[in-house]
């Protein structure tokens, strides 16, 4: 599929209903032009957008057979639950692909050979990315049709980065916490208390008979700081993707 709007045009024409092949070709060209203009206007080349990749589970289970580029499970009903281009994730080893065709109730053809007997999977309703977009996973782009061919795509997903506005792009910053002016000194210090009473640790002090006198004891203070390893606002995870052509 293509991020330049071709895939969207195909979906629109397919949804219209019964058309002759001649009319379908004409309609497809018209909608391609419209969709191309729409995509170019909304998401420029180089644009980075959030993608809810694993949204909506269409089906899940465990493969019961091994055939190259197939997902096979006896007793399934794929013809009812699954459509072409849905994302498939092998949850046993975290490899992924997408559905090329729904062959039968118990068999799917996948774009990649990721399934074998005993492997667990989840099929998501989200369609695979159009080929003009890539996930921002820090990979070197290999696409001769893209101006960015050979460039390293930012690793926004693996590093779990937020995005912030600036006059230029691509500058990365690591974790930081703003100074708040608070100073804590946990060094040993002196407690003064009346003789004949208990100290801070509950030990009874009786080193003199004059209860009006004072005594001194020295102890160390330990400090435990509770909290999360990072400071962050309330959020939801997404997969960052970038338009490359």
Yes or no: say if 62 and 126 are a contact pair by the CB < 8 Å rule: no
Which long-range contacts (C-beta less than 8 Å, at least 24 apart) are formed by 172-175?
A: 175/230, 175/231
* Exposed / middle / buried, residue 184 (Cβ in 10 Å: 0-12, 13-18, 19+): exposed
pLDDT grade for 3, boundaries at 50, 70 and 90 = very low
Mean pLDDT, the chain, whole residue set: 82
Is the pLDDT at 29 greater than 90, yes or no?
no
Cβ atoms within 10 A of the Cβ of 196, count?
A: 16
pLDDT of res. 12: 79
| Lowest mean pLDDT across 46-55, 135-144, 171-180 | 171-180
Yes or no: say if 67 and 106 are a contact pair by the CB < 8 Å rule: no
% of the chain at pLDDT higher than 90:
47
**What 3-state DSSP class applies to 124?**
strand
- Which one, of 90, 91, 92, lies nearest residue 70 by Cα? 90
pLDDT of res. 111: 97
* Exposed / middle / buried, residue 9 (Cβ in 10 Å: 0-12, 13-18, 19+): buried
Cβ atoms within 10 A of the Cβ of 72, count?
A: 19
| Lowest mean pLDDT across 12-16, 43-47, 60-64, 127-131 | 12-16
In DSSP terms, 7 is beta-bridged to none
Say which residue, 239 or 231, is predicted with more confidence.
239
Say which residue, 12 or 105, is predicted with more confidence.
105
Yes or no: say if 84 and 56 are a contact pair by the CB < 8 Å rule: no
Each residue of 98-140: pLDDT tens digit? 999 999 999 999 999 999 999 999 999 999 988 889 999 999 9
Identify the DSSP state of 212.
Answer: T
Identify the DSSP state of 79.
Answer: H
Is the pLDDT at 4 greater than 80, yes or no?
no
Is the pLDDT at 243 greater than 80, yes or no?
yes
Q: Provide the Cα torsion 190, 194, 200, 201; round to 10°.
A: 110
Model-wide pTM > 0.75: no
User: What's the CA gap between 108 and 1, in Å, rounded?
Assistant: 19
């Amino acid at each position: 599929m293509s991020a330049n709007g071709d895939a969207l045009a195909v979906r629109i024409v397919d949804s219209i209903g019964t058309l002759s092949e001649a009319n379908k070709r004409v309609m497809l060209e018209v909608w391609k032009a419209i969709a191309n203009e729409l995509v170019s206007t909304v998401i420029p080349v180089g644009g980075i957008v959030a993608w809810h990749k694993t949204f909506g589970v269409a089906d899940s289970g465990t493969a019961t057979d091994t055939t190259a580029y197939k997902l096979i499970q006896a007793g399934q009903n794929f013809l009812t639950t699954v459509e072409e281009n849905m994302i498939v994730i092998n949850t046993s080893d975290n490899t992924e692909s997408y559905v090329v065709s729904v062959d039968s109730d118990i068999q799917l053809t996948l774009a990649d050979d990721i399934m074998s007997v005993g492997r667990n999977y989840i099929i998501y309703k989200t369609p695979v990315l159009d080929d003009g977009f890539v996930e921002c996973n820090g990979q070197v782009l290999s696409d001769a049709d893209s101006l960015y061919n050979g460039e390293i795509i930012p690793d926004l997903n693996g590093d779990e980065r937020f995005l912030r506005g600036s006059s230029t792009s691509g500058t990365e910053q690591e974790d930081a916490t703003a100074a708040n002016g608070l100073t804590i000194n946990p060094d040993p210090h002196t407690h003064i208390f009346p003789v004949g009473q208990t100290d801070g640790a509950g030990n009874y002090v009786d080193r003199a008979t004059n209860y009006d006198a004072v005594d001194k004891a020295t102890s160390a203070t330990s400090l435990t700081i509770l909290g999360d390893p990072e400071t962050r606002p309330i959020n939801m995870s997404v997969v960052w993707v970038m338009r490359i052509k």
